[in-house]
A and B are shown apart, each in its own frame.
Chain A
Amino acid sequence: MSGKALARLLGFGTAAAMALTQSSVGFVRDEGYYFAAAQSYEAWLRLLWQAPLQALAQTERYWSYNFEHPGLIKLLFALSHLCFSSSVGDTLAWRLPAFAFAGLISYWLCLLGQSRSRAAGVLAPLLFWCAERTFFHGHLACFDIPICAMTAGVAVAWLRGGGPWLAFLYGLALSTKHNAWFLPPVLLVHALLLAREQRIAKLRLLPWLLLSPLVLLATWPLLWHDPLRHLGDWIAFHTHHVHYAWYYFGEVLRGPPFPLFYPLVLDALVLPLPIAALLSAAGVKLLVDFARRRLDAQRLLELGLAGAAVLPFMLRTTPIFGGIKHWLAFLALLSPEAADLVVRIAPSPSLGALAALLPGLWQIAHVHPYGTSAYGELAGGIPGAASLGMQRQYWSNNVTAVLPWLNAHCPPGARVYFHEVNVESYRAYQLAGMLRGDLRYAPSPTNSDYAALQWHREFRDREPETWNAYGTRRPAFGLYLDETPQVIVYARPGFPGAP
Chain B
Amino acid sequence: MPLRLPSERDWAEAAGALRSSARPGDAVQIWPAWAERARMFVDAAPLLAEEDLAQADYVGVQRLWLLSLPRAPYARNPQGALRARGATAASQEQRFGALALQPWDLHAPQLAADLTRADEEHEVDYVARRCLRLAIGSRIASRGAAGRILHFRAGIIGERAYDKGRPPIVVQIFSGGAPLGVLAVDGPGWRKLDVELPSGPEERDFLFAVSSPDAARPFCLQGWTTR
Is residue A467 contacting chain B, with contact meaning CB distance below 8 A? yes
Is residue A187 contacting chain B, with contact meaning CB distance below 8 A? no
- CB pair B75–A461 under 8 Å, yes or no, is no
Is residue B216 contacting chain A, with contact meaning CB distance below 8 A? no
- CB pair A387–B122 under 8 Å, yes or no, is no
**Interface residue tally of chain A, by bracket?**
20 to 34
- CB pair A464–B47 under 8 Å, yes or no, is no
- CB pair A485–B34 under 8 Å, yes or no, is yes
- CB pair B5–A461 under 8 Å, yes or no, is no
Q: Nearest chain-B residue to A388 (Cβ)?
A: B74
Task: List which B147-165 residues lie within 8 A (CB) of chain A.
Answer: 157-159, 162
- CB pair B39–A461 under 8 Å, yes or no, is no
Is residue A233 contacting chain B, with contact meaning CB distance below 8 A? no
Q: Nearest chain-B residue to A247 (Cβ)?
A: B126
A383-B1, A483-B35 known; A474+B40 contact, CB < 8 A: yes
Is residue A298 contacting chain B, with contact meaning CB distance below 8 A? no
CA distance A245 to B160 in the complex (A): 13
- CB pair A483–B123 under 8 Å, yes or no, is no
Q: How far is the CB of B43 from chain A (nearest CB, A)?
A: 7
A contact residues around B162 at 8 Å (CB):
252, 254
Contact among B5, B32, B127 for A482, CB-based, below 8 A: B5
A381-B73, A461-B123 known; A483+B6 contact, CB < 8 A: yes
Q: How far is the CB of A344 from chain B (nearest CB, A)?
A: 32
B contact residues around A464 at 8 Å (CB):
120-123, 128
Q: Nearest chain-B residue to A384 (Cβ)?
A: B73
A contact residues around B123 at 8 Å (CB):
460-461, 463-464
CA distance A267 to B47 in the complex (A): 35
Contact among B69, B73, B159 for A245, CB-based, below 8 A: B159
A245-B159, A383-B5 known; A485+B121 contact, CB < 8 A: no
Is residue B37 contacting chain A, with contact meaning CB distance below 8 A? yes
A contact residues around B159 at 8 Å (CB):
245, 458-459, 461
Contact among A461, A468, A478 for B37, CB-based, below 8 A: A478
Q: How far is the CB of A498 from chain B (nearest CB, A)?
A: 13
Is residue A480 contacting chain B, with contact meaning CB distance below 8 A? yes
A383-B73, A461-B158 known; A468+B120 contact, CB < 8 A: yes
Is residue B36 contacting chain A, with contact meaning CB distance below 8 A? yes
Task: List which A72-112 residues lie within 8 A (CB) of chain B.
Answer: none
Is residue A301 contacting chain B, with contact meaning CB distance below 8 A? no
CA distance A252 to B123 in the complex (A): 15
Residue interface bits B1-24, CB-to-A below 8 A is 1, else 0: 100111000000000000000000
CA distance A254 to B76 in the complex (A): 26
Residue interface bits A332-359, CB-to-B below 8 A is 1, else 0: 0000000000000000000000000000
- CB pair B69–A468 under 8 Å, yes or no, is no
Task: List which A445-499 residues lie within 8 A (CB) of chain B.
Answer: 457-461, 463-465, 467-468, 473-475, 478, 480, 482-485, 488, 499
Q: How far is the CB of A378 from chain B (nearest CB, A)?
A: 10
Q: How far is the CB of A253 from chain B (nearest CB, A)?
A: 11
Task: List which B45-87 residues lie within 8 A (CB) of chain A.
Answer: 47, 69, 72-76
Is residue A380 contacting chain B, with contact meaning CB distance below 8 A? yes
Q: Nearest chain-A residue to B71 (Cβ)?
A: A383
Contact among A245, A461, A480, A482 for B1, CB-based, below 8 A: A482
- CB pair B39–A474 under 8 Å, yes or no, is yes
CA distance A379 to B123 in the complex (A): 27
Residue interface bits B152-180, CB-to-A below 8 A is 1, else 0: 00000111001000000000000000000
Is residue A386 contacting chain B, with contact meaning CB distance below 8 A? yes
- CB pair B43–A380 under 8 Å, yes or no, is no
Contact among B34, B43, B122 for A386, CB-based, below 8 A: B34
Q: Nearest chain-A residue to B75 (Cβ)?
A: A387
B contact residues around A252 at 8 Å (CB):
162
CA distance A461 to B128 in the complex (A): 8
CA distance A43 to B160 in the complex (A): 41
A contact residues around B36 at 8 Å (CB):
485, 488
CA distance A488 to B76 in the complex (A): 25
A contact residues around B37 at 8 Å (CB):
478, 480, 483, 485
CA distance A464 to B158 in the complex (A): 10
Q: Nearest chain-A residue to B1 (Cβ)?
A: A381
B contact residues around A386 at 8 Å (CB):
32, 34
Q: Nearest chain-A residue to B73 (Cβ)?
A: A380
- CB pair A463–B128 under 8 Å, yes or no, is yes
- CB pair A467–B121 under 8 Å, yes or no, is yes
Q: Nearest chain-B residue to A472 (Cβ)?
A: B39
- CB pair B126–A457 under 8 Å, yes or no, is yes
Q: Nearest chain-B residue to A484 (Cβ)?
A: B34
CA distance A163 to B4 in the complex (A): 57
16 A-B pairs with C-beta separation under 8 A: A245-B159, A252-B162, A380-B74, A381-B73, A383-B4, A383-B69, A383-B73, A386-B32, A387-B34, A387-B75, A388-B74, A467-B128, A473-B47, A483-B5, A483-B37, A483-B69
- A residues contacting B by CB (< 8 A) are 245, 252, 254, 379-381, 383-384, 386-388, 457-461, 463-465, 467-468, 473-475, 478, 480, 482-485, 488, 499
- Closest 7 A/B residue pairs (Cβ): A380-B73, A384-B73, A461-B158, A387-B74, A461-B123, A464-B121, A386-B34
- B residues contacting A by CB (< 8 A) are 1, 4-6, 32, 34-37, 39-40, 43, 47, 69, 72-76, 120-123, 126-128, 157-159, 162
Given A467-B120, A485-B37; 4 other pairs, CB 8 A cutoff: A387-B34, A464-B123, A465-B122, A483-B6
